[in-house]
Structure 1
């Protein structure tokens, strides 16, 4: 998938350097032991609405940090949020107008950047406990789906819940729930286990974002809230400008996974 021999063994700084140099790849499995984050940057006049949207929808939008307007680095990132992700999405009036490895040409001094917890952060804990993570095994992006569940709206922002899916053997579902529940800052426990139809998902083989993965006999689809949720709200609510990560192409931070793990 990446051409990198040992992505898990990279330091966060080394991973970000590869992305600055042009490597475009999903970041699942990179810099093992370090937290990853979703990114959303919006004009200052929309920042309060986005903060309120996150406060009202903490499962898909757990805020790790908010940078002041114009800032490009912060306490969990010794780098630059405009260049250090492998791929960005740019929305103008709610329309996706560009996907780019470098957001500097779109950057404005009034942009407020939100760093939102990512479920890639707890995947190391799943793997260490022997719970399979299929998209890592297959070397593809995690499948993500827009659901029929609505988030609580906030000001100008409204939209559906987005979820990520990992197939889990039926006898390990309880373990997956237990392990991930210890990471509430990066989505925590699943929001749904089992029938995709209960979330309004018609076909697991056709994710809205990312790639489909194999669901084997005896496995159950398990769904976690996903930090792509703000992008779905942006597409629906149509703000003048927003810059986000491309789904699955996250910010590798300098914070340790353990910093977000509860006893």
Structure 2
């Protein structure tokens, strides 16, 4: 992977590491791959790896660590998974118990980090194609919803697909399908366009994660598989202990989005 001129990505990680950045990472370090996180004890890592392999749309893996190693050199040379994400979520028996900005007090030598491709990467391609991204326009977090679509289970991991939503005019939606289908490593093409009720979303104005955004006259909601899916799956599996990123608060890597394109 090409990591030339990764200064912008490293600066975002250093801001998170210092505690200066605690908010969402949308549109930070444009051009660089951002990743969702699932950090699990080693005894669950095999099942979770299989879950990701069976569900590549919501869980496209871009990196996996050695047990207990907070570094992921495949993603960046200067990276400490314990401190380089703006905000984390700590779970015990499926319940959210903390949202720290530093994992040092929680780190264990049996933890395996899974880095999962993020929709923020394909948003870079959408913007380059002249397509609007409403939550960036409005300065908020992307809206995300649990759906009635079930993932393919693996071991204790099962549950509903989570999707992220961006409103687009019909012609823009067609173009967005073309653009994002070239990026399967960061969720690829949408999984649904139009009526939210068809995928079990009762109220588009009330996302399960993130913030609501305006849908203007003539626009339709367009839904992509989302890397927050592991959080709903983990809540279902109720492992004794695990860590995820806080929704919208991603790991910024030194990988370039263009390196993930099929073109």
With normalisation by structure 2, the TM-score equals 0.95
CA shift, 1:250, in A, is 0.3
Structure 1 match to 2:18? 21
Instruction: Flag structure 1 segments of 5+ consecutive residues without an equivalent.
Output: 1-8
Structure 1 match to 2:124? 124
d(CA) in 2 for partners of 1:104, 1:205: 37
**Native 8 Å contact 1:10 1:30 kept in 2:** no
1:1-263 aligned at under 5 Å gives the runs 11-22=8-19, 23-74=21-72, 75-77=74-76, 78-263=78-263
d(CA) in 2 for partners of 1:185, 1:204: 27
**Native 8 Å contact 1:68 1:112 kept in 2:** yes
CA shift, 1:93, in A, is 0.4
User: Could you say what the CA RMSD is over the residues aligned between the two structures, in angstroms?
Assistant: 1.0
**Native 8 Å contact 1:10 1:32 kept in 2:** no
Aligned residues: 255
CA shift, 1:157, in A, is 1.0
Query: Aligned with 1:25: secondary structure?
Result: coil
d(CA) in 2 for partners of 1:214, 1:10: 34
CA shift, 1:237, in A, is 1.1
Instruction: Flag structure 2 segments of 5+ consecutive residues without an equivalent.
Output: 1-5
d(CA) in 1 for partners of 2:124, 2:153: 33
CA shift, 1:71, in A, is 1.1
d(CA) in 1 for partners of 2:101, 2:113: 17
d(CA) in 2 for partners of 1:95, 1:47: 19
d(CA) in 2 for partners of 1:21, 1:76: 20
